[in-house]
Structure 1
Amino acid sequence: MIRVVNRVLLALLGLALLCAGGAVLARGLDWAVPSWWPYSGRRDVLLSRAVRERWRDQGWWWPVVIAILAVLVVLALWWFFAQLRRARMAEVLVDSGDGEGALLRARALESAIEDDAESLDGVARARVRLTGRRTAPSARVRLLMEPHAAPGETLNLLTEEALERGRRSAGLGELGAEVRLRAVRHGAERVS
């Protein structure tokens, strides 16, 4: 949901900036513009001489304005490129041993690690997401723990079995992981 809101806000901001820039450009190129258009008169300017010279005595004013605008442009570009980034890794480069390599769908590896993790004692449900580069992925693991499970023991088993098996099967030198544990919540039951 947040990605949709980000993209809509980014599109609206871009459209507003494009319209404002188009209005200033149209007037600057002396194109014929309608009377309701901003700066439609022959003598209308974006910044009047009085506004431009108001802060002339302070030598810091215009460099600060330009620096703030530059920072805003960099932040807007960062925001834009962050929307284009994939939220999920698509494939993992597997070392096939012949010097070539093969591509493995990341979801297949995620699913295999999830199945291994769910087979561990005390794990009710597991969710795995691979992030990072396809040559050096990292796993984000979320485990839903049964009430009787020991977190330390389950974490050791996950590391030594499920993650290690996934790392070896993909031929990776290492597979870093961030693991989040959460306990299952059971509702109260009436005993009669």
Structure 2
Amino acid sequence: MLATVNRILLAVAGVVLLAAGAVLLTGVRPLHGRTAPLLTAADRRRYLHADGWWWWVLAAALAVCLLLALWWLLAQLRRSRLRAVPVDTGDGAFAVLRGRALADAVAAEAGALDGVSGCRVVLRGRRGSPRLRVKVELEPHAVPADALAGLAGPVLGHARDSAGLADLPAEARFRVGSHRARRVS
């Protein structure tokens, strides 16, 4: 979602700047001449000394822009990884399983599967409903269906059991590593 918001903000900023440039180039200069200022002395007096709604609207618009900019900045700085998962110990208490430890364990177990040359795992979601994003690099001779079955079966089953979760959704992305032809002499 953050990528979509970034694209929308960039598009809106581009359209506003393009419109402002077009107005300044085509609208203001030809009407008043090349040496005329953008605001005449009468306009400056009217806007600076105006009573009523003008300054309240301007202050409100600037405050809204400031709040939106702060929200966007905080959204950029927010972490996308889940730091910890609560694990029910069975005696009414909870233990805390670090998210990186769970992700490293899944990556190590998935990396040991036949045909897998590398694996990266990120734990995302919320504390009550974590989910995994798994990127698997396959060797050239690997069968993707076998690697997926090994990942979906024992690897995710062990992770689910160790974290004490009833459900652990995962998104797996597979990529085949490049290989070079062997030289024959």
Q: Shorter-chain TM-score: which interval?
A: 0.5 to 0.7
Structure 2: distance between partners of 1:178 and 1:71: 38
Moved more, 139-148 or 77-86: 77-86
1:95 equivalent to 2:91? Answer no
Equivalent in the alignment of 1:130 = 123
Deviation track 1:75-102 (CA, whole Å, cap 9, x = no partner) reads 3122221244224222111111112110
Structure 2: distance between partners of 1:191 and 1:74: 66
Unmatched 5+ stretches in structure 1:
1-46, 54-61
Query: Which letter does structure 2 place at the counterpart of 1:127?
Result: R
Structure 2: distance between partners of 1:71 and 1:148: 57
Deviation of 1:71 (Å):
5.5
1:157 equivalent to 2:150? Answer yes
Question: 1:48 is paired with a residue of what secondary structure?
Answer: helix
TM-score (norm 2): 0.64
Equivalent in the alignment of 2:179 = 186
Q: Which has the higher helix share?
A: 2
Question: 1:175 is paired with a residue of what secondary structure?
Answer: coil
| Number of equivalent positions | 142
Query: Structure 1 residues 153, 49: CA separation in 2 closer, same or farther (over 3 Å shift)?
Result: farther
Unmatched 5+ stretches in structure 2:
1-42, 50-55
Query: Structure 1 residues 67, 113: CA separation in 2 closer, same or farther (over 3 Å shift)?
Result: same
Deviation of 1:134 (Å):
2.1
Deviation track 1:104-130 (CA, whole Å, cap 9, x = no partner) reads 111211111111111211111111110
Identity, in percent, stands at 49
Question: 2:97 is paired with a residue of what secondary structure?
Answer: strand
**Which of 161, 164, 173 is the aligned partner of 1:168?**
161
